[in-house]
């Protein structure tokens, strides 16, 4: 078994952003030379997420609105008593999860027809990392 690790870095312009990282992950997969296995894509921050879904702008807006309803900004979060102001960002990350594992078959991401990998930032405007770890042969 062979392993390859790389990192993506994001410094978003907005507090919340959704970035399609499928092409970046595919480049890392290609560099790894692995033809059969798995690829782990994981946000290395507790106010960001990585998820797989459709690359459709209306759906992305729906996801953002849904998250804001479930975990709206609230100045009264207990977390804010520590001097932070991003309690909602932590909750949004929990709802979307921080990582995905995608199968690799014949050197390609083995997706369904509409699947893409997204990085979701909920507390942006500073550098954040995503680890991409390819495992296989």
- Tell me: the pLDDT tens digits for 63-76? 999 999 999 998 89
Cβ neighbour number for residue 87 with a 10 Å cutoff:
21
**Tens digits of residue pLDDT in 17-51:** 999 999 999 999 999 999 999 999 999 999 999 99
What is the chain written as a DSSP string? -EEEEEEEEE--SSSSEEEE-HHHHHHHHHHHT--SEEEEEEESSTTEEEEEEE--HHHHHHHHHHHHHHS---TT-GGGGGT---HHHHHHHHHH-SEEEEEEETTEE---TTEEEEEEESS-SS-EEEEEEEEE-
What residue segments make up the domains of the chain, in order of their start? 2-136
Q: What's the pLDDT at 71?
A: 96
Average pLDDT over residues 113-134: 96
CB–CB of 15/85 below 8 Å?
A: no
pLDDT for residue 134: 98
In angstroms, rounded to a whole number, what is the distance separating the alpha carbons of residues 128 and 7? 10
Cut 0.75: pTM above it: yes
In this structure, which CATH number among 3.30.465.10, 2.30.31.70, 2.60.120.460, 3.20.20.140 belongs to the domain 2-136?
A: 2.60.120.460
Check whether 85 has a pLDDT greater than 90: no
Q: Are 96 and 64 in contact (CB under 8 A)?
A: no
pLDDT at 52: 98
């Amino acid at each position: 078994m062979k392993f390859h690790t790389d990192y993506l870095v994001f410094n978003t312009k907005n507090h919340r952003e959704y970035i399609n990282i499928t092409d970046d992950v595919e480049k890392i997969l290609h560099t790894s030379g692995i033809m059969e296995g798995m690829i782990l894509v994981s946000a290395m921050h507790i106010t960001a997420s990585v998820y797989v879904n459709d690359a459709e702008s209306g759906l992305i807006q729906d996801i953002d609105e849904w998250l804001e309803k479930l975990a709206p900004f609230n100045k009264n979060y207990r977390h804010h008593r520590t001097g932070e102001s991003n309690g909602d960002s932590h909750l949004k990350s929990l709802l979307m999860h921080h990582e995905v594992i995608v199968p690799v078959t014949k050197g390609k991401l083995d997706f369904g027809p509409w699947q893409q990998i997204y990085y979701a930032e909920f507390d942006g405007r500073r550098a954040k990392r995503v680890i991409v770890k390819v495992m296989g042969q």
